Chains A and B, each alone.
Chain A
Amino acid sequence: MFWQQLVNWINLGAMYALLAIGYTMVYGIIKLINFAHGEIFMTGAFFTWWFMTAFSIPFPVASLMGIMLATLLGVGIERVAYRPLRDAPRFAVVISVLGMSIFLQNMARVVWGAEFQVFEMDFGIPPILIGPVVIPFKKIFILVTSLILMVALSLFVTKTYLGKAMRATAADREAAEMMGISSNAVIVLTFVVGSSLGAVAGILYAINYNSIDPYMGFNAGMKAFAAAVLGGIGNIYGAMLGGLLLGIFEGAGAAYISSMYRDAVAFAILILALIFRPEGLLGEFKSGEKLKAR
């Protein structure tokens, strides 16, 4: 029983991790939280579902198209809500991005309806038995996909030229610009990578729960943010670790404390992490230094 549940928790954790990476990457570059990231998660799942049901496009193609559209949306968010406010006070940017999130969430509600939609996805592959543990194929699919993406991301960030440019910009934007790195291009690249991972996480989430709704991005986004803070914001490996831990904490909290308050677990962890270890588990900065106002 415990192992069976652990598989579920790790699955959940893998999805949070994918979503948390988007938060942490954007934060690493522009030092701001992307409040609309949960909406990318939601639209990724919704576009895929829409292509599959309205146009009966097979899942692999539909999901790719969904990811591309959601990624475009992510870039659009940067263009509309961030770029005009690049030199504005942080307060204004937070409100503008929050407004963007509310806008997208309710636009989705107007377009696709407020009800839950069934996201049907059957791989047609029987569940796999490991000892007493039954693992449906979709769980393995989710775990493997997330793992591959995380490995690919870390290779991208550490081994490629673009990844190097990203790390340079995160470390010191002005110095990177002096070395000839266009910070605008890097910011767009960050939004592309973060949004596509967020969209994948949304699709995996939809596969796991078989249902989607316009507000799914809000809760998941808040939890993934908590995961990013827990792991150490700005650190990609921290986001992975934080996501995994959060999935386990949330699952264990729901199983052993109260399932009604499972959504509150993440917020409680977020607040505790911010009080006791604001730099996160794998944090890079000295305690409180970057969290202070101005």
Chain B
Amino acid sequence: MKGGSQATTRDSGQGKAPLVTMAERFALSKWTIKVAILLACMAVPLVVQSHYAMRVIIYIYLYVVLALGLNVVMGFTGLLNIGHAAFYAMGAYTTAILMTGYGLSFWWTVPIGMGLGVLMGLAIGFPTLRLRDDYLAMVTLGFGQIVYIVANNWMSLTRGPRGIPAIPAPRLELFNWKLVIDNYTSYYYLILFFVALTITACVRVRDSRVGLAWMAIREDEDVAAVMGIHLGFYKTLAFAFSAALGALAGSFFSVFQSFVSPNSFTILESVVIVTIPILGGLGSIPGTIVGAVLMIGLPELFRSASEYRMVAVGAFMVLMMIFKPEGLFGKKLFQTTYKV
């Protein structure tokens, strides 16, 4: 797998773009650097005083989780999914409904939400196994729309467009020690924990046999099948894994906002999530993180022109595909060109 394998990133990045090499050195080298990055991240609430800035940073982290989840399907396995907001919604509504209606603890709703997300991932992954890129995009788009419609209309469960308000703050209790996660600093540490969990999971799964199988499917499905990789199993697995991470982000969103409504899970939301790994470079974990910083952070700088945000996103998708389809940090993913 010339130039295309992510699993051998620990050897030097010869023949790669300098940005890629730099990013890889930065993110995947010695443990001291990892610890330094983690400490730097943990120090953020001590430095940043403004609530607004904290909110933006927390949102960036939230989108890192979402985009890394999508990256599993789009970047590792090479399957288009333009309905990632469906998994996000699943996590958010599970947490919201179970916490407000049934008084369950947040820590229980996270695994339940992720489990339901996995079921949803299987439900979307299975019928789309045989579909090619453009069909897959259309079907996942439709699936995302169905979830939105259901959230909007199932009044008895989701309260429809009115949404579910007053979702309680998560609590941590260990013997006599209690912590209520209800301010920006504590939410920051909670999402930082989720981000760390997500990155670890993504890196480890990428470097495993499963990750190799996914990338083999991405590079050439037929060859992968000949090598004994069960296409159906691994594609569905990618959807399930991605869905679990999407639901995790949703659960956090639910308690952070303390309010969920279908409007947070529209098609446009899915499209924004899709652009993050594309900007960063499909399949690249550091790239996806940088992509989230740019895609979520930059619009905050141009808040006065917020109505143009989606216009810019659309134009950006076209221009990116024409001029730099591999993204900022990505490698040339598609070695073979497709000819009609």
How many angstroms between the C-alpha atoms of A80 and B318 in the bound complex?
A: 8
Q: Are A294 and B338 in contact (CB under 8 A)?
A: yes
Q: Which of A187-224 contact B (CB under 8 A)?
A: 218-219, 222
**Is residue A164 contacting chain B, with contact meaning CB distance below 8 A?**
no
Q: Are B145 and A267 in contact (CB under 8 A)?
A: yes
**Is residue B307 contacting chain A, with contact meaning CB distance below 8 A?**
yes
Q: Are A95 and B339 in contact (CB under 8 A)?
A: no
**Is residue A144 contacting chain B, with contact meaning CB distance below 8 A?**
no
How many angstroms between the C-alpha atoms of A94 and B278 in the bound complex?
A: 12
**Is residue B82 contacting chain A, with contact meaning CB distance below 8 A?**
yes
Q: Are A106 and B311 in contact (CB under 8 A)?
A: yes
Number of A-B contacts (CB under 8 A): 152
Q: Are A32 and B321 in contact (CB under 8 A)?
A: no
Q: Assuming the A-B contacts A85-B321, A93-B321, A103-B314, are A218 and B130 also in contact, with contact meaning beta carbons closer than 8 angstroms in the complex?
A: no
Q: Which residues of B contact A268 (CB under 8 A)?
A: 146
Q: Are A91 and B311 in contact (CB under 8 A)?
A: no
- Pick from A90, A271, A291: contact of B130, CB below 8 A: A291
**Is residue B172 contacting chain A, with contact meaning CB distance below 8 A?**
no
Q: Are B267 and A291 in contact (CB under 8 A)?
A: no
How many angstroms between the C-alpha atoms of A185 and B133 in the bound complex?
A: 26
**Is residue A87 contacting chain B, with contact meaning CB distance below 8 A?**
yes
**Is residue A9 contacting chain B, with contact meaning CB distance below 8 A?**
no
Q: Are A291 and B131 in contact (CB under 8 A)?
A: yes
How many angstroms between the C-alpha atoms of A261 and B148 in the bound complex?
A: 11
- Pick from B143, B317, B340: contact of A95, CB below 8 A: B317
Smallest CB gap from A260: residue in B: B153
**Is residue B169 contacting chain A, with contact meaning CB distance below 8 A?**
no
Q: Which residues of A contact B322 (CB under 8 A)?
A: 84-85, 96
Q: Are B338 and A99 in contact (CB under 8 A)?
A: no
Most buried by B among A104, A225, A268, A288: A225
- Pick from A85, A91, A226, A291: contact of B80, CB below 8 A: A91
Q: Are B317 and A89 in contact (CB under 8 A)?
A: no
Render B231-267 as a binary contact track against A, CB cut-off 8 A, 1 for contact: 0000000000000000000000000000000000001
Separation in Å of the A267 CB from the closest CB of chain B? 4
Q: Are B142 and A99 in contact (CB under 8 A)?
A: no
Q: Are B271 and A270 in contact (CB under 8 A)?
A: no
Q: Assuming the A-B contacts A103-B318, A264-B150, A267-B143, are A225 and B133 also in contact, with contact meaning beta carbons closer than 8 angstroms in the complex?
A: no
Q: Are B311 and A99 in contact (CB under 8 A)?
A: no
Separation in Å of the A161 CB from the closest CB of chain B? 23
**Is residue A92 contacting chain B, with contact meaning CB distance below 8 A?**
yes
Q: Which residues of A contact B141 (CB under 8 A)?
A: 222
Q: Assuming the A-B contacts A99-B316, A294-B222, are A225 and B150 also in contact, with contact meaning beta carbons closer than 8 angstroms in the complex?
A: no
- Pick from B78, B134, B139, B307: contact of A270, CB below 8 A: B139
Residues of chain B at the chain A interface (Cβ within 8 Å): 78, 80, 82, 127-128, 130-135, 137-139, 141-143, 145-146, 149-150, 153, 220-222, 267-268, 271, 274, 278, 307-308, 310-311, 313-318, 320-322, 325, 334, 336-340
Residues of chain A at the chain B interface (Cβ within 8 Å): 30-33, 35, 80-81, 84-85, 87-96, 98-107, 109-110, 173, 218-219, 222, 225-226, 260-261, 263-264, 266-268, 270-271, 274-275, 278, 288, 291-294
